[in-house]
Amino acid sequence: MQQVNDTNFEQEVLKNDKPVLVDFSAVWCGSCRQIAPFVDQIAEEMATDLKIVQVDVDDAEQLAVKYDIQSLPTLMLFKNGNPVAAHIGAAGKSELSDWIKSNI
Out of 32, 53, 64, 72, pick the active-site residue.
Answer: 32
Rounded Cα distance between 65 and 95, Å, is: 27
pLDDT of residue 1 exceeding 90, the answer is: no
Q: Which of 29, 46, 72, 91 is catalytic?
A: 29
Confidence of residue 93 (pLDDT cuts 50, 70, 90): very high
Does residue 85 sit in helix, strand or coil?
strand
Q: How far is CA 24 from the centre of its chain?
A: 6
Q: Hey, where are the domains in the chain? A: 2-103
Residue 58 identity: D
Read off the pLDDT of residues 41-53 as tens digits, 9 standing for 90 and up: 999 999 999 999 9
Q: Is 68 a catalytic residue?
A: no
Span 68-89, average pLDDT = 97
Residue partners of 24: CB distance under 8 A and separation at least 6: 55, 57, 63, 64, 67, 69, 72, 73, 74, 75, 76
Mean pLDDT calculated for residue range 66-83: 97
- Average pLDDT over the chain, rounded to an integer: 96
Residue 82 belongs to what H/E stretch? strand 82-88
The arithmetic mean of pLDDT across residues 81-93, rounded, is 96
Instruction: Let me know if 32 is a catalytic residue.
Output: yes
Distances (CA, A) of 89 to 18, 58, 92: 24, 18, 10
- Which CATH architecture best describes the domain 2-103? 3-Layer(aba) Sandwich (3.40)
